[in-house]
Amino acid sequence: MQPATKLKVAIDGPVSAGKSTAGQKLARRLGYRFLDTGQMYRAVTVAALDAGVTPSDTPAVTALARKCDIQVRNGQGITLDGRDVTQRLRDAEVERNVSAVSAMPGVRAALVEKQRHIAAGGGIVMAGRDIGTVVLKDADIKFYLDASPETRARRRHDEMAMQGRKEPYDDVLAALKRRDRLDSTRTDSPLRPATDAEVINSDSLTLDQVVDRMEAKVTAMA
């Protein structure tokens, strides 16, 4: 059942917590648009790698973020300056560098501006790591989706296996913990729940149970 009022829904949480999968499903149920903001940071990382720019070169990467054209096709794909780069967003080299890129204040400022423009008018589910705390402080409803590192690593390991990418579970867990540490300790927009967010721990919940809980809150408010 679609709510009559088009709201702004923010979903934050750490890597592999299921934000994108739950957010996409919630958006479909509500008839809303969906945006995974993490894809935009990955697209900037791809832009830097393709341009031969060192991902740690803050001025150069920031300049790329400001000028590159990133288009999001309802959460299903990403084009970068007219090129479909969707399949490259999970490349190992992108995985290694996206945390550094997303921690750059200039990059965040450039993409936050784009994200707020996309959210104008409501009727959107936006997922990321600083949506409720920075990007959409005025979001009507905020969720923080969490799970233990072990649960998230297992999900990520299974996802990679389905894509034909064989990585030892211990390596996936170590990389995930490293990403958690970087995301939660960065000086600009660190990962944390918004004070008015509903925290949902999905360790013992199915995807449908998570989405049901979110949908109930949105429809009740609308």
Residue pair 186/101 in contact by the 8 Å Cβ criterion: no
pLDDT tens for each residue of 32-62? 999 999 999 999 999 999 999 999 999 999 9
Q: Round to whole Å and give the CA distance between 145 and 142.
A: 10
Q: What percent of the chain has pLDDT over 70?
A: 97
Query: Taking the model in full, what pTM does it have?
Result: 0.85
Alpha helices in 54-206 (DSSP H): 58-67, 92-102, 105-119, 149-162, 169-185
Question: What residues contact 216, with CB distance under 8 A and at least 6 apart?
Answer: none
pLDDT of residue 90: 86
pLDDT at 189: 82
Sign of CA dihedral 57, 14, 127, 95: positive
What class is the 37-121 domain? alpha beta
Residue 75 has pLDDT above 60, yes or no: no
State whether residue 126 is helix, strand or coil.
Answer: strand
Q: How far apart are CA 158 and CA 112, in angstroms?
A: 31
Q: Matching CATH topology for 8-32+123-212 and 37-121? A: yes
Beta bridge partners of 12: 128, 144
* Domain spans of the chain, in order of start: 8-32+123-212, 37-121
> Quick one: pLDDT band at residue 74, thresholds 50, 70, 90?
low
pLDDT value of position 163: 81
**Sheet of strand 198-201: strand arrangement:** 33-36, 124-128, 8-12, 141-146, 198-201
The pLDDT of residue 1 is above 60: no
Whether the CB-CB separation of 31 and 76 falls below 8 Å is answered with no
Q: How many residues are recorded in the chain?
A: 222
Q: Give the model's pLDDT for residue 192.
A: 93
The string of DSSP codes covering 92-118 is HHHHHHHHHHHT-HHHHHHHHHHHHHH
Q: Which two tokens stand for residue 82?
A: 């007219």
Q: What is the DSSP-derived secondary structure letter of residue 197? A: P
**Which residue carries 């070169």 as its tokens?**
57
CATH topology of domain 8-32+123-212: Rossmann fold (3.40.50)
**Can you give the pLDDT at residue 128?**
93
CA gap 191, 14 in Å, rounded: 7
The one-letter amino acid at 11 = I
